[in-house]
């Protein structure tokens, strides 16, 4: 069961990374689905699995050997979600939505503060990312139920 969950997470992150890179190539931007997917996997994976999946995803998204604030946040925010998931006072799907939205807010607040000036675009990105996070959370909850939090 644990191995199947880990392999599923790797395939999911590979698909999401590819989708985000293709979306960025064709449309010029992409919603923050990679960050949100990694944060939602923090609800289901163990720490060693999360380290592997996050490292692989950061390497695929940023294959140029250069450290940027976006890549640091992409690597750190899933571990913050992993640490605070047990302290969430809400149901699992609501925690997923709130953490997804907060992750995107933190990402843009630190790396691209000027994105807040384009409120319509920014709000659209937050809503799409939070919705995607809830879908990923519910999908994994159906296939890999856990009793670590209220569902």
CATH of domain 2-143: 1.10.1760
CA distances from 107 to 90, 101, 144 (A): 23, 10, 28
CA distances from 70 to 17, 104, 107, 112 (A): 15, 11, 7, 9
Q: What is the pLDDT of residues 8-18, one digit of tens each?
A: 899 999 899 88
Tokens of 142: 């159906």
Q: What is the pLDDT of residues 104-149, one digit of tens each?
A: 888 888 877 776 777 888 888 889 999 999 999 998 888 887 655 4
**Res. 4: pLDDT tops 60:** yes
pLDDT band at 49 (very low <50, low <70, confident <90, very high): very high
Phi and psi at 63, nearest 5°, equal -80, -5
Phi and psi at 112, nearest 5°, equal -145, 75
**What is the predicted pLDDT for the residue at 93?**
83
pLDDT band at 76 (very low <50, low <70, confident <90, very high): very high
Residue closest to 148 by CA, chosen among 85, 61, 83, 96: 85
Over range 40-54, report the average pLDDT: 92
Average pLDDT of the chain is: 84
**What is the predicted pLDDT for the residue at 151?**
41
For the chain, domain boundaries: 2-143
**Res. 150: pLDDT tops 50:** no
**What is the predicted pLDDT for the residue at 63?**
67
């Amino acid at each position: 069961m644990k191995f199947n969950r880990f392999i599923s997470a790797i395939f999911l992150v590979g698909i999401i990374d590819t989708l985000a890179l293709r979306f960025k190539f064709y449309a010029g931007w992409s919603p923050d689905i990679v960050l949100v997917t990694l944060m939602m996997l923090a609800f289901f994976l163990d720490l060693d699995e999360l380290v592997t999946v996050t490292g692989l995803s950061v390497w695929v998204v940023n294959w140029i050997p250069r450290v940027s604030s976006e890549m640091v946040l992409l690597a750190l925010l899933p571990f913050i979600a992993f640490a605070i998931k047990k302290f969430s006072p809400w149901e699992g799907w609501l925690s997923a939505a709130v953490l997804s939205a907060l992750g995107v807010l933190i990402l843009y607040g630190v790396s691209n503060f000027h994105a807040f000036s384009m409120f319509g675009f920014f709000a659209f990105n937050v809503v799409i990312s939070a919705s995607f996070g809830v879908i990923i959370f519910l999908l994994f909850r159906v296939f890999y139920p856990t009793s670590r939090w209220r569902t």
